């Protein structure tokens, strides 16, 4: 009597990007090659593979949404966090298209204030500005966007969004009525905010901010303390930036009645939401949830046996509103979710507590980050093949 051939497994590949080494779409393709080759080696039928590369509101989100929403990509001139001229991408839907939806504009803040864009310079966390993000937003308003989705994260700035709002016409003034210099380092001198010359359409459109983290604006989990150091902030700079953001929140609350101090996600991208919510009525949405909805993740996951997700660094930040969490949250009952990451900095207890069956890192032996980054594609393929082997043997169920 022959053993019946196993049925093909339905495997969904839903990674985030591995920052600096693999875009999400390439990570998903490498996973696909790995599980398909493993199934062939084991004599199993080819798995039913679904590619669902994701993003979390930070880098890569624009690409995910341009595809999911069929929005037209455009480019425009703006400035990076250090004030250097550059060309950035954004997306806008065609006015009056058949969908009947409002004209929808999408921009990824990191196209202007992104950390990788200033990697060639000594970082200055105190003066880095989000002005360029405001230039992109102004362009969307000029182009006729009626709804703007601002995807934020992966930034070099900690200015509480003051640069952004300045580019839309607001003036952040000191006690002598002089405009503050750019950057979060000057915020303690803020005395008043003049929005008299705000872009005429700025308050007439619907703003949503897709955030990549759920951190608050200030304090030990705030924008400066957690993300300042990766933007070049020394411990003294962190203290200055944290105090400046808290002061900005007080001045803003006095002007608008809206407090941003306890708002989840207000600490994303150096506190960009801190002025956008009170002055423009922007709504904060978790980026990973938004992208998961836009690409139809829950539909893709229906009937899945196994989901592979992953990112560059699986750590405690991954559990604060990131892709991995969105995947676990959308996985159907009985479907195992396994993460493959460049590095895994969670304990087994944390991995299981997060709803993952297991988490594996790409490294196959002692080696340097450079090599891991260079070899990320083949290593991802190999790791996915290993996961397929263990899963199909029934050991991960």
**27: number of Cβ within 10 Å:** 31
Across 112-219, the runs of DSSP E, i.e. the strands, are: 147-152, 171-173, 192-194, 206-211
Decide: 147 and 205 in contact? Cβ < 8 Å: yes
Window 58 to 97, contacts with ligand DGY (CB under 6 A)? 58
Q: How far, in Å, are 155, 165, 222, 245 from residue 214 at the CA level?
A: 15, 22, 10, 16
Q: Which stretch binds ligand DGY (CB under 6 A): 263-271, 292-300, 358-366, 385-393?
A: 263-271
The only residue of 268, 282, 372, 379 in contact with ligand DGY, by rule CB under 6 A: 268
Minimum gap (Å) between residue 94 Cβ and ligand DGY: 31
Collapsing DSSP to helix, strand or coil, 40 comes out as helix
Instruction: Report the site for ligand ATP in 214-273 (rule: CB under 6 A).
Output: none
Which is closer to ligand ATP, CB of 278 or CB of 312?
Answer: 312
47 binds, among ligand ATP, ligand DGY, none (CB under 5 to 8 A by kind): none
Determine the Cα–Cα distance for residues 23 and 209; give it in Å rounded to an integer.
22
Q: Please give the Cα distance from 202 to 279 (Å, whole number).
A: 9
- The whole-angstrom separation of Cα 318 and Cα 311 is 9
Site string for ligand DGY, 24-63 (x = CB under 6 A): ----------------------------------x-----
Site for ligand ATP in 137-166 (CB under 6 A): 153
Per the listing, tokens 């902030």 go with 233
Q: What residues from 338 to 377 belong to the interface with ligand ATP (CB under 6 A)? A: 342-343, 362, 369, 372-373, 376
CB atoms under 10 Å from CB of 75, counted, come to: 11
Question: Please, what is the minimum distance in Å from the beta carbon of residue 371 to ligand ATP?
Answer: 9
Is residue 382 at the binding interface for ligand ATP, with CB under 6 A as the rule? no
CB of 269 to ligand ATP, least distance (A): 11
Which of 91, 153, 161, 216 touches ligand DGY by CB under 6 A? 153
Binding marks (x or -) toward ligand ATP, 19..38, rule CB under 6 A?
xxx-----------------
Q: Which stretch binds ligand ATP (CB under 6 A): 12-20, 71-79, 80-88, 293-301?
A: 12-20
Helix (H, G, I), strand (E, B) or coil at 122: coil
Q: Considering only residues 213, 240, 338, 346, which one is a binding residue for ligand DGY as defined by CB under 6 A?
A: 213
Burial class (CB in 10 A: 0-12, 13-18, 19+), 173: middle
> Is the sign of the CA dihedral 212, 215, 217, 220 positive or negative?
negative
Q: Which residues bind ligand DGY (CB under 6 A)?
A: 58, 153-155, 212-213, 227, 268-270
């Amino acid at each position: 009597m022959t053993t019946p051939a196993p049925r093909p497994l339905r495997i969904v590949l839903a990674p985030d990007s591995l920052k600096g080494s693999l875009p999400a779409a390439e990570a998903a393709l490498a996973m696909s090659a790995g599980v398909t080759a493993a199934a062939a080696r084991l004599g199993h039928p080819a798995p039913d593979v679904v590619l669902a590369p994701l993003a979390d509101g930070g880098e890569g989100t624009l690409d995910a949404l341009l595809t999911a929403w069929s929005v037209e990509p455009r480019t425009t001139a703006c400035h990076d966090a250090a004030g250097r001229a550059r060309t950035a991408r954004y997306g806008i839907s065609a006015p009056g298209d058949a969908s009947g939806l409002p004209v929808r504009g999408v921009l990824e803040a990191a196209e202007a204030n992104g950390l990788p864009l200033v990697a060639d310079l000594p970082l200055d966390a105190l003066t880095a500005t989000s002005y360029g993000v405001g230039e992109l937003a102004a362009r969307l308003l000029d182009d006729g966007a009626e709804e703007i989705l601002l995807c934020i994260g992966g930034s070099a700035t900690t200015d509480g969004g003051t640069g952004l709002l300045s580019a839309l016409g607001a003036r952040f003034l000191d006690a002598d009525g002089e405009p503050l210099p750019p950057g979060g380092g000057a915020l303690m001198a803020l005395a008043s905010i003049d929005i008299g010359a705000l872009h005429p359409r700025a308050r007439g459109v619907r703003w949503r901010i897709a955030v990549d983290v759920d951190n608050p604006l200030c304090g030990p989990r705030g924008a400066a303390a957690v993300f300042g150091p990766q933007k070049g902030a020394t411990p003294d700079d962190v203290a200055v930036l944290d105090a400046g953001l808290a002061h900005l929140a007080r001045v803003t609350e006095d002007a608008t009645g809206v407090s941003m101090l306890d708002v989840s996600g207000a600490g994303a991208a150096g506190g960009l939401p801190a002025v956008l919510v009170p002055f423009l009525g922007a709504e904060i949405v978790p980026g990973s949830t938004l992208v998961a909805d836009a690409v139809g993740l829950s539909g893709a996951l229906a009937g899945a046996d196994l989901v592979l997700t992953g990112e560059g660094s699986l750590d405690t930040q991954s559990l604060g509103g990131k892709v991995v969490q969105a995947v676990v949250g959308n996985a159907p009952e009985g479907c195992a979710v396994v993460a493959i990451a460049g590095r895994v900095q969670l304990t087994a207890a944390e991995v299981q507590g997060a709803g993952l069956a297991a988490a594996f890192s790409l490294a196959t032996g002692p080696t340097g980050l450079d090599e891991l980054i260079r070899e990320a594609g083949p290593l991802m393929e190999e790791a996915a093949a290993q996961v397929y082997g263990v899963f199909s043997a029934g050991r991960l169920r």
